[in-house]
Amino acid sequence: MTNYLPREIAYRLEQALRLLPVVVLSALRQTGKSTLLQREESLTTGRKYRTLDDFATLAAAQANPESLLTEAVILDEVQRCPELLLALKKAVDEQRRPGRFILSGSANLALLSRVSESLAGCATRLLARAGPPRSGLRDRGGSHGVRGGSQGGHALGCK
């Protein structure tokens, strides 16, 4: 395994997690999202990592999405199971606590046709792009901080 290099976008993810229950990291495939979410200590501490690339995890998400949301969790490749977003909205409505969920995917979650509910007011979407090898994922929105729900990111809907 190679040495992990900290990613520039980690700071903005940390800021958003202090304010909001849900943070979505969106980037193209093979840009380092999964590596960041598995190895950035400030993000992994207190959160279980699950990927929907794993067939058993995907099957569990499709059969009983609530079962994946009982604890603070990182859900990678979440675009594979749009039904999960309805359960996520319900979980946040029932217990709105900052930093509970990190979602990631290579598809734009706002454009998924099967998503009938949104996460407005309780989530922000951070867009990332691949950067130089030393920095890994770079922040597309510049270096401004996350205030409220979406400064430098894109607000998603919630109740």
> Does 54 have pLDDT greater than 90?
yes
Taking the domain 10-143, which CATH number applies? 3.40.50.300
- Biggest CA-to-CA distance, the chain: 42
Tens digits of residue pLDDT in 17-31: 999 999 988 877 777
**Residue 28, CA distances (Å) to 6, 100, 106, 107, 123 in order:** 19, 24, 5, 8, 20
Tens digits of residue pLDDT in 57-91: 999 999 999 999 999 999 999 989 988 988 999 99
Instruction: Name the CA dihedral angle for 34, 117, 70, 122, rounded to a multiple of 10 degrees.
Output: 80
Per-domain residue ranges of the chain: 10-143
Tens digits of residue pLDDT in 127-141: 776 655 444 554 444
Per-residue pLDDT at 150: 38
> Does 105 have pLDDT greater than 90?
no
